[in-house]
């Protein structure tokens, strides 16, 4: 809910609560102070995790406001999206090209949020699917740009977000011309990071013993 709160507050100020009363009712007391601290950069670290975007989408659609276990909100968002009775649509987003590519999905999240509280469950399912389709389209576009820059045609899809089977189903047809690598023996999420850290530690121990 934190990222969802920030994006609504950034656009609408405190008046967002009147437009999104169901979401506002889920917020803890003192959320205004949290926004002030965030605006000042206090205890507000940046994140590059795609999972946080799925958390925000889930909160905006009223699917899940908090995670009782790891990945709960994205899991429930995927589950809802799979019940959609229409094809998914690509929501607006932008890719800024520079030394570092920047994908701005705020327009997509705003499109997801606006009017969402008045939607039926079926309509929310459609928007949940739209978000998955949009994320897949954005990833495919970025891969295309990077491939042109580097000449590489091999792509490794890693990170916890790629445990989302629906995201993969939407992405893979869009990158059919690439050699795609997917984790099989090691999980793509934090478990994979832990495995890598252990492998590095063992390699350093072995090196020190033979030094």
Identify the helix (H) or strand (E) that includes residue 180.
strand 179-181
Question: What are the structural domains of the chain?
Answer: 1-46 (no CATH), 50-210 (3.30.420.40)
| Pairing relationship of beta strands 154-156 and 179-181 according to DSSP bridges | parallel
CB 62 within 8 A of CB 173: no
The pLDDT profile of the chain, 211 residues, written as one tens digit per residue, is: 889 999 999 999 989 999 999 999 999 998 988 888 888 887 777 778 899 999 999 999 999 999 898 889 999 999 999 999 999 999 999 999 888 899 999 999 999 999 999 999 999 999 999 999 999 999 999 999 999 999 999 999 988 899 999 999 999 999 999 999 998 888 888 888 898 899 999 999 998 887 6
Tokens 């990170």 belong to 159
CB 153 within 8 A of CB 177: yes
- Sort 67 into a burial class: Cβ within 10 Å, 0-12 / 13-18 / 19+: middle
The residues with which 155 forms a beta bridge, in sequence order, are 180
């Amino acid at each position: 809910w934190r990222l969802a709160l920030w994006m609504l507050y950034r656009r609408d100020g405190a008046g967002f609560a009147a437009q999104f009363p169901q979401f506002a009712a889920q917020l803890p007391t003192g959320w205004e102070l949290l926004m002030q601290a965030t605006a000042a950069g206090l205890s507000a670290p940046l994140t590059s995790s795609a999972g946080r975007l799925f958390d925000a989408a889930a909160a905006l659609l009223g699917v899940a406001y908090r995670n009782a276990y790891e990945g709960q909100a994205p899991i429930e968002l995927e589950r809802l999206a799979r019940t959609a009775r229409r094809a998914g649509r690509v929501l607006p987003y932008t890719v800024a090209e520079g030394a570092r590519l920047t994908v701005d999905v705020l327009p997509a999240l705003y499109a997801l949020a606006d009017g969402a509280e008045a939607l039926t469950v079926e309509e929310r399912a459609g928007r949940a699917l739209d978000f998955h389709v949009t994320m897949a389209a954005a990833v495919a576009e970025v891969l295309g740009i990077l491939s042109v820059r580097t000449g590489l045609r091999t792509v490794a899809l890693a990170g916890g977000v790629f445990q989302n089977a629906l995201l993969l189903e939407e992405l893979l047809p869009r990158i059919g011309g690439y050699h795609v690598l997917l984790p099989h023996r090691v999980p793509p999420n934090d478990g994979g990071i832990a495995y890598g850290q252990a492998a590095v530690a063992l390699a350093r121990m072995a090196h020190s013993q033979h030094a």
